[in-house]
């Protein structure tokens, strides 16, 4: 079991190519914790914007009558990957982990696997 701060630190330190991470409450759009980012990349802006992404997908799935749950969402930019992993269980409902990766350095399969493990260990 890890807390938010440790989990975010671990994400940034152990996932190759990670440049920023956040734990976001998508019922409010606010970040519970952020790490990394830069002056030009405000993780609080990303948290609010990606809340809309997650909500839109959840709503679309409801409209389509899909019963499954979102595990993760991958957004591929020309030079970055953005990975959104929805948390489940242990009070993690309504939260997602958001990870920014440098596309040149990251191993997507490994990053996804590691983020899944960090999410499983995280207790909010």
Partner 1 sequence: MAAEAEVLDELHRLRARVPQLTGALAASVDGLVLAQDTPGVEPEGLAALTAAALGVAVRMADATRQGDFRELLVRGEYGYVATYAAGPSVVLTLLAGDRANVGRLHLEGRRSGTRIGALVEAAAVEAQPTTAARLPAKPAVPRTRTARTARTTTEPTGESR
Is 28 one of the binding residues for partner 1 (CB under 8 A)? yes
Interface region with partner 1, contact rule CB under 8 A, candidates 42-50, 68-76, 96-104, 109-117: 42-50
Name the β-bridge partners of 34: 22
- Per rule CB under 8 A, is residue 51 in the interface with partner 1? yes
Structure token pair of residue 80:
């970055």
Segment 91 to 110, residues that bind partner 1, using CB under 8 A: none
SS3 assignment, position 9:
helix
For position 37 contacting partner 1 by CB under 8 A, the verdict is no
CA separation for the pair 117, 56 (Å, rounded)? 26
For residue 69, the SS3 value is coil
Number of residues that bind partner 1 (CB under 8 A): 14
Residues 69, 54: Cα–Cα separation, whole Å = 12
The site for partner 1 (CB under 8 A) is made up of 24, 28-31, 44-45, 47-49, 51-52, 55, 59
């Amino acid at each position: 079991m890890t807390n938010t701060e440790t989990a975010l630190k671990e994400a940034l330190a152990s996932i190759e190519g990670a440049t920023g991470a956040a734990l976001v409450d998508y019922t409010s759009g606010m970040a519970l914790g952020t790490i990394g980012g830069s002056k030009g990349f405000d993780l609080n802006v990303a948290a609010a914007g990606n809340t809309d992404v997650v909500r839109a997908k959840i709503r679309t799935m409801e409209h389509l009558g899909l019963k499954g749950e979102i595990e993760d969402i991958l957004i591929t930019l020309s030079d970055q990957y953005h990975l959104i992993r929805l948390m489940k269980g242990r009070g993690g409902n309504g939260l997602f982990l958001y990870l920014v990766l440098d596309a040149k350095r990251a191993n997507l399969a490994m990053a996804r696997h590691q983020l899944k493990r960090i999410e499983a260990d995280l207790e909010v």
